[in-house]
Amino acid sequence: MLPGPLRLDGGGLLSPVEIGYETYGTLNADGSNAILICHALTGDQHVASPHPRTGKPGWWTRLVGEGKPIDPARHFVICSNVIGSCMGSSGPATIDPSTAEPWAMRFPVITIRDMVRAQAMLLDHLGVGQLKAVVGGSMGGMQALSWAATFPERVRACVMVASTARHSAQNIAFHEVGRQAIMADPKWRGGAYYESNDPPAAGLAVARMAAHITYLSEAGLTEKFGRRLQARPDRPDGAKSFGFDADFQVESYLRHQGLSFVDRFDANSYLYITRALDYFDLAEEHGGLLANAFRRTATRFCIVSFDTDWLYPTSESRAVVQALNAAGAAASFVELSSPYGHDAFLLEAPEMNRVIDGFLRAEP
């Protein structure tokens, strides 16, 4: 709990500012080994430790941990829950001190840069002046980029994986489907559902299902499910029901993804964070020219994309790289091959680890 106030891009002030965070390893004597990890839309601070609600291992243990490119034995690793979320940081589900009730839709609309400024307040609190690196995938990559643009003197290196410098019309469109699904659920009640203990689970599940499709590749879905039918007690190889049960395995899978998501995520947080993503356009914040965001920067950049990611395709990473080149920044960029679409960055990706490890070790 930090006193704030945090001045927001939308014009308001947030005070106090609650931030849920985890740290791993120790800050060295000269404070030069701090790495901030930024999470994605529905992620959290438990990057390398089990999720308190689901018990699942940390969401990026493939990259962070003993013997990994980001290693608590060498690095002071910080990961905080973004504001607007629901895992311990200020968001629509936390208490508005002026009313002693949950903020719900009275919580201010926030931006990616607001999330970054809140993280900067946390670093001040932790006594971390400058980051060795800020690292993130997907929405975390946007925060990493925003960090480098907003606090260039505090970031020596920036790693952006499977991400973009702005949300496209298609990105916004998918999010709008999700938001409308939540708001069309009668249990949403204009966002004031916290007292009822009966949240808009159906709407949130649909939002998650739609979004989940964008995280996978068509080839990946085809390989995993094809047109295969769901097994039934009487028909182990499945059969069409001539009804609207989950006949296809892919339907059953998506329903499961939707249902398990509602247990761990707040519907209003989903509205706020998708809004922040849709508002993200780093060039717009710098006079319409992305290169302006990086003029005279001393930060080194490492950009990684995946060839089957159609949510944030390689062309978006290339636009960032071009801007970095135009600004004369030290940039590395590679498109890696994976069958898994956007989700590839969270999965086993030895080449990504090799690239990030070399990049982080190469600090001059």
Partner 1 sequence: MSEALRPDLAIIARHVARGSRVLDVGCGDGQLMAALREEAGVDARGLEIDAANVASAVARGLAVVQGDADVDLAGYPDKGFDYAILSQTLQTARAPDQVLDHLLRIGHRAFVSFPNFAHWRVRLSLLWGGRMPVTGLLPEQWYDTPNIHHVTIDDFRAFVRQRRITVEGSWFLSRGRPTSAAAANFRAEHAVFLLRR
Question: 117: how many CB neighbours lie within 10 A of its CB?
Answer: 23
Q: Of 147, 174, 333, 340, which one interacts with partner 1 (CB under 8 A)?
A: 333
Asked if 71 is an active-site residue, the reply is: no
Q: Of 54, 241, 260, 337, which one interacts with partner 1 (CB under 8 A)?
A: 337
- The interface mask with partner 1, positions 83-122, x = CB under 8 A, is ----------------------------------------
Q: Of 5, 97, 226, 358, which one interacts with partner 1 (CB under 8 A)?
A: 358
Through-space distance between the first and last CA atoms of the chain, rounded to whole angstroms:
36
Q: Which residues does 271 contact at the CB level (< 8 Å), separation at least 6?
A: 92, 179, 182, 183, 191
Handedness of CA 295, 297, 300, 301 (dihedral sign): negative
Helices (H), 151-266: 169-184, 201-215, 218-224, 249-262
Q: Of 182, 211, 290, 331, which one interacts with partner 1 (CB under 8 A)?
A: 331
Q: Of 336, 342, 344, 345, which one interacts with partner 1 (CB under 8 A)?
A: 336
Name the one range near partner 1 by CB under 8 A: 163-171, 224-232, 259-267, 334-342: 334-342
23 φ, ψ to 5°?
-130, 155
Chain residues 269-328 in contact with partner 1, contact rule CB under 8 A: 300, 302, 318, 321-322, 325-326, 328
Instruction: Please identify, using beta-carbon distances, which residue of 245 and 351 lies nearer to partner 1.
Output: 351
Amino acid at 96: D
CA angle 155/160/163 to nearest 5° reads 140
Crossing angle of the two packed helices 249-262 and 201-215, in degrees rounded to 10: 120
Q: Of 21, 270, 345, 359, which one interacts with partner 1 (CB under 8 A)?
A: 359
**Residue pair 332/302 in contact by the 8 Å Cβ criterion:** yes
Residue 319 to residue 125: CA distance in whole angstroms: 35
Helices (H), the chain: 112-126, 139-150, 169-184, 201-215, 218-224, 249-262, 267-279, 314-326, 350-361
Crossing angle of the two packed helices 201-215 and 169-184, in degrees rounded to 10: 160
Smallest gap from residue 259 Cβ to partner 1 (A): 38
Smallest gap from residue 78 Cβ to partner 1 (A): 24
Instruction: Please identify, using beta-carbon distances, which residue of 9 and 307 lies nearer to partner 1.
Output: 307
166 binds partner 1 (CB under 8 A): no
Asked if 198 is an active-site residue, the reply is: no
Asked if 138 is an active-site residue, the reply is: yes
Question: Which candidate in 138, 146, 217, 338 is catalytic?
Answer: 138
Instruction: Please identify, using beta-carbon distances, which residue of 195 and 363 lies nearer to partner 1.
Output: 363
Tokens read off for 229: 């039918």
Smallest gap from residue 163 Cβ to partner 1 (A): 16
Instruction: Please identify, using beta-carbon distances, which residue of 168 and 325 lies nearer to partner 1.
Output: 325
Chain residues 338-357 in contact with partner 1, contact rule CB under 8 A: 351, 354-355, 357
Of 280, 211, 264, which Cα lies nearest the Cα of 93? 264
Question: Which candidate in 75, 317, 342, 343 is catalytic?
Answer: 342
Instruction: Please identify, using beta-carbon distances, which residue of 27 and 334 lies nearer to partner 1.
Output: 334
Smallest gap from residue 28 Cβ to partner 1 (A): 20
Question: Which candidate in 309, 317, 338, 343 is catalytic?
Answer: 309
Tokens read off for 162: 């499977």
Residues taking part in catalysis: 138, 309, 342
Q: Which residues bind partner 1 (CB under 8 A)?
A: 300, 302, 318, 321-322, 325-326, 328, 330-337, 351, 354-355, 357-359, 361-362
